[in-house]
Amino acid sequence: MNVASASGIAGGSAVALTITSVVTAGTWTSSASVSSTQSFTDDIAPATPTLSLTSSTATSATLAFSSTDNVGVTSYRIARDGVTVASVAAPATTATLPLPPGDHTVTVTAADAAGNVSAASTPVTVSAPIVSTTWYEVVSAATGLCAAVPATGLGSGTAVSQTACVATTAAGGQAWTLPAANTTGAVTSSRPSPTSPLYYWSAAGSPPNALVQLGINAGQTRAQWTTTALVNGLFRFAVTPSANGTTVCLDAGTGGQLRAATCSATAASQQFSLVAVTP
């Protein structure tokens, strides 16, 4: 019996084998052949990609990445703050990623044609500023709702409540300008007109459960909010609404009117993301 062997066959490839048997007796000869194709599963994931930040603007970051694979990388998947936000087909190894305001963690994984996915790259931190001339929706991490005021009937004392976030090209009463990260200033409403703003966030009542409403004096202490950048593109907003010096934080609770409550380092109800909009 003759035995043949093969080695060094790459996963994802196939080997075709034909065996021919020849029998000879005197002057008589007969032959028979049999063929078989053996496929080999590719179960080898691409190498962990390298990732670097090559440039950034106020609203985007350009990334460079690369990986190798025993057969070939087919795509790269980019995750921002743990959520996949883009896929780039190989052989491209750069991408420009839109960035909302805040500090973000970006990773990339590589995939091959067999569906194998690499481990995530070493994270890269990228940051985008709050732009003073840009209007933003303020979105609660706890409720998914946006800080809002109605279209009509506005005045000093109108509640700043929470409603379902609307299209970013017609945000209306959900559009605000905010102080830059880690600074203090007024949060301004686009009502009654983005070109003639009149109203500001104001914490009314006694801490730790003051209510947030519209005020008309941006210089008051209770209208001066400190914006603190957290991780994953989130922010916390703090204010000292009365002379007793107690600082409280914007709190979404479970919905309804926004409050200024005792600050918590971990409460999702006090964490907010920003989405650029047009009033």
In terms of domains, do 222 and 260 share one?
Answer: yes
Q: Which of 63, 98, 128 is where one domain is finished?
A: 128
Q: What pTM value is reported for the model?
A: 0.81
Please report the pLDDT score of residue 207 as a whole number.
74
Q: Which residues pair with 66 in a beta bridge?
A: 50
In terms of domains, do 150 and 88 share one?
Answer: no
Going from the first residue of the chain to its last (279 residues), give the mean pLDDT of each consecutive group of 10, the final group possibly shorter: 51 55 66 60 95 96 98 98 97 97 98 98 97 96 97 93 89 93 96 90 86 95 96 96 83 96 96 95
The whole domain housing 88 covers 50-128
Structurally, the chain folds into a number of domains equal to: 2
In terms of domains, do 90 and 195 share one?
Answer: no
In terms of domains, do 77 and 99 share one?
Answer: yes
Please report the pLDDT score of residue 115 as a whole number.
96
Which two tokens mark 183? 């600074």
Q: Which of 82, 113, 128 is where one domain is finished?
A: 128
Please report the pLDDT score of residue 27 as a whole number.
72
Q: What is the CATH number of the domain that holds 70?
A: 2.60.40.10
In terms of domains, do 120 and 232 share one?
Answer: no
In terms of domains, do 152 and 269 share one?
Answer: yes
Q: What angle is formed at CA 130 by the lines to CA 125 and CA 132, rounded to 5 degrees?
A: 160
Q: Indicate whether 37 belongs to any domain.
A: no
Q: What is the CATH number of the domain that holds 252?
A: 2.80.10.50
